[in-house]
Amino acid sequence: MKVCIAEKPSVAKDIAGVIGASQRKDGYFEGNGYQVTWTFGHFCTLKEPHDYTDRWKSWRLEDLPMIPPSFGIKLIDNAGALKQFGVIEKLVQQCEEVINCGDAGQEGELIQRWVLLKAKCSVPVKRLWISSLTEQAIREGFQKLTDSGQYDNLYAAGSARAIGDWLLGMNATRLFTKKFGQGKVVLSIGRVQTPTLALIVQRQKEINAFVSEDYWELKTIYRETEFTATIDRIKNAEKANKGLAYLLQYEFEVTAFERKEGKEGNPRLFDLTSLQVEANRKYAYSAEDTLKHVQNLYEKKFVTYPRVDTTYLSEDLHPKVEGILRNLTEYASLTASILEKPILKSKVVFDDKKVTDHHAIIPTGVTPNHLSQEERHIYDLIARRFIAAFYPECKVSNTTVLGKVGQVEFKATGKQILEPGWRAVYANEARSKKEAAEEIVLPDFTVGETGPHEPRVHQGKTTPPKAYTEASLLRAMETAGKQVEDEEMRELLKDNGIGRPSTRANIIETLLKRRYIEKKKKNVFATQTGMDLIDTIQNELLKSAELTGNWERKLRLIEKGEYGMETFKQELIQMVIDLTNEVKSNQYRVISIEQEAQVQNEEKPKKEPKAREPKEPRSRESKEEVPIESLTCPKCKSHLLRRGKTAYGCPDFQNCGFKIPFEFLGKKLSDKNVFDLLSKGKTAKIKGLQIPGNPETIDARLVMNGDFNFEVG
């Protein structure tokens, strides 16, 4: 008997139907020499710290770093999973061969290997590797079963990823929580989560620090065409008005005219990230929701495997493309013109060297039915992108006109679509403001012609950097924070992205759940909690998108057999040891790790059960001089110290004299009050201040004056 193990009951049912295992049993199907069973995703997980030793049950600095001598796995604590694992274990012990039918990707390989390891599988294992769940794909997959050993590197990469996340997440979270959390809040640190948060915080700081400025530009209308002066923006109105007066003295003269035909290349097929980006841009779907909808479409056999990071098709798919296009009957009006000729085998679409585990996401050709509105939207995006890939390129005419008024030079540009090509697939869709602004048809001009014009002054304001949307955040994660518009360049940077396409949505949701970020309409912002956490982390390695991208590159090299799993693991172990020693010896203390209850305008999160942590002995550091969060004395710029039990002050107190008392006007100052005084020069309103000589308390702000003293403001 051969045992097939799928990742979901629905997939097991599809496989059983194709290979003739038609008898339903308790936890599996049987027939035709096969038994087909299933998991529910992750049945096993890496052991937790307390599984290795009781000492690691409590969170104590002295126990860090936690480096197990070897990493073990355990079954998750779930009654349904335990029961189903019992079925798998029994079948595996009695069979002659196992066929791994898990999701054909790194995570799917890891899930299945851990289950087989836990079930003590000792028989040969084959691998089913398919890109869609259609009957034809499953049948062809069973005809091409390969030895499981061919995917050992994929399993090694999955194991290295899981162990790396455990080493850094478990150790760094405890390390920063115990060192800086002050017993009030858990500071969650992650290999991918933290650099992603750092990107958002950096953008948030740029927005917060931005000061809008007025500017003026000289413009003029000549022959119903608007021209803009090519000089730098003018910083004051008086100078702009002088410029306008100058322009009124001269006629407009055309100095150059160029109309050049060009082509706009077809949009790439979708990988998961680009699909999530487009769905967020067009429908405001979150990355997680898009992944859920496309996964449903895959399991319903309407699209191919979605957790992919390539925008290319394998060359052996070329003969099948025509049939898929013909089966897209509801798009017949769009496919008719390209089916009149043979489908070209273009390197822009078909390239084996650019395909990794799977090819790009495309329709299977199975006619979709019973779709939700969201699934219909996602399917339409995929189908149209697939069709557009085989259309002719879009031909355009780009026009540039240069002119001058006196000595001031002007420029106007326009674009005209000559032949829509692939744009015809999207003819009925609303154009973006940017696209509409670019498509301006300019008249013909003759070099040397002159004439009257209508100059004017345009006043504008500089705008702050744009907040991240999920779409732009996904792109930033894909390119390790680099601003890249060119698709070819993005393709080259994918190996160094933060996280994998299949995990990025979960990372964003984790940051939202932990209230480090929040969404306002389509925009993503860092909360004060998230900003405080990033400011607390002095070690740049934990926050670096580029370095995290380098880890991702090494994980991909492990997949290819070009880098050792043990080498990667030892590098991370050494990093965790170095990080732990650095933070333990670092005497900086955080002033303002905001608790979730203090974050303004946030809903209270649902409480989740958590293990009670034993109380730790009171720290003996309270009498020592301890630098806090690297904030500096506003007077002499030295790091502030906690001086005994009365005040913060600078190291050279005798000469400088600056201090902030722990208590002022009868009120104990919170860390937030101190932080605001040092960073903003004033606090929020404090209730119950006792003014000497006044029997009644008042509510007021504290303000740092020009003499670096504090007064009621």
DSSP codes, 605-667:
PPP---PPPPPPPPPSGGGS--EEEEEE-TTT-PEEEEETTTEEE-TTHHHH--EEESEETTE
Q: How confident is the model at residue 591 (pLDDT cuts 50, 70, 90)?
A: very low
Q: What pLDDT, on the 0 to 100 scale, is given for residue 279?
A: 96
Instruction: Tell me how far CA of residue 100 lies from CA of 128, 141, 374, 552, in angstroms.
Output: 6, 12, 32, 26
Whether the per-residue pLDDT at 165 is higher than 50: the answer is yes
Select the more confidently predicted residue: 625 or 691. 691
Is residue 240's pLDDT more than 60?
yes
Strand partners, 710: 704
Range from 174-188, 508-522, 644-658 that averages highest in pLDDT? 508-522
Task: Determine the pLDDT at residue 654.
Answer: 58
CB neighbour class for 311 (10 Å; exposed up to 12, middle 13-18, buried from 19): buried
Residue 589, pLDDT above cutoff 50: no
Whether 620 shows a pLDDT value over 60: the answer reads no
- Is 60 exceeded by the pLDDT of residue 287? yes
Three-state DSSP at 8 gives: coil
* CATH number attached to the domain at 2-144: 3.40.50.140
CA angle 126, 130, 135 (to 5 degrees): 105
Report the percentage of the chain scoring pLDDT > 90. 65
Catalytic residues: 305
For residue 625, pLDDT over 50 is answered with no
What integer pLDDT is reported at residue 658 of this predicted model?
Answer: 75
| The pLDDT value given to residue 627 | 37
Q: Determine the CATH number of domain 162-208+466-598.
A: 1.10.460.10
**Range scoring the smallest mean pLDDT among 294-298, 321-325, 545-549:** 545-549
For the ranges 145-149, 475-479, 518-522, 632-636, the lowest mean pLDDT is seen at 632-636
Tell me the pTM: 0.76
Averaged over 148-162, what is the pLDDT?
95
Interval 215-224: pLDDT, tens: 999 999 999 9
Was domain 214-265+394-461 assigned CATH 2.70.20.10? yes
- Mean pLDDT is lowest, of 69-83, 121-135, 468-482, for 468-482
CA 198 vs CA 193, 224, 541, 600: distances in Å? 9, 48, 11, 20
Mean pLDDT of 119-134: 95
557-566: per-residue pLDDT in tens? 999 999 999 9
Q: What percent of the chain has pLDDT over 70?
A: 85
pLDDT interval class at 485 (50, 70, 90): low
Distance CA 554, CA 556 (A): 5
- The band of 603, judged by pLDDT with boundaries at 50, 70 and 90, is very low
Give the Cα separation of 553 and 549 in Å (integer): 6
**Average model confidence (pLDDT) for the chain?**
86
- Whether the pLDDT of residue 504 is over 50: the answer is yes
**Four-residue CA torsion sign, 664, 667, 671, 672:** negative
pLDDT value at 133 more than 60: yes
Supply the pLDDT for residue 546.
75
The answer to which of 446-450, 497-501, 695-699 has the lowest mean pLDDT is 695-699
State how far the Cα of 457 lies from the Cα of 315, in Å rounded to an integer. Answer: 57
CA 92 to chain centroid, in Å, comes to 39
- pLDDT the model gives residue 665: 79
- Cβ pair 302, 368 in contact under 8 A: yes
Kindly indicate the confidence band of residue 378, based on its pLDDT and cuts at 50, 70 and 90: very high
Q: Rounded to a whole number, what is the largest CA-CA distance in the chain?
A: 97
Q: Output 279 or 635, whichever has higher pLDDT.
A: 279
Options 1.10.290.10, 3.30.413.10, 3.40.50.720, 1.10.260.40; which CATH number does 272-388 get? 1.10.290.10
Residue type, 283: Y
Note the pLDDT tens digit of each residue in 167-211: 999 999 999 998 887 666 788 999 899 999 999 999 999 999 999
Domain segments of the chain as ranges: 2-144, 162-208+466-598, 214-265+394-461, 272-388, 622-712
pLDDT of residue 596: 34
Say how far apart CA 621 and CA 312 lie, in whole Å: 59
Q: Which residue has the higher pLDDT, 478 or 386?
A: 386
Confidence tier at 630 by pLDDT (50, 70, 90): very low
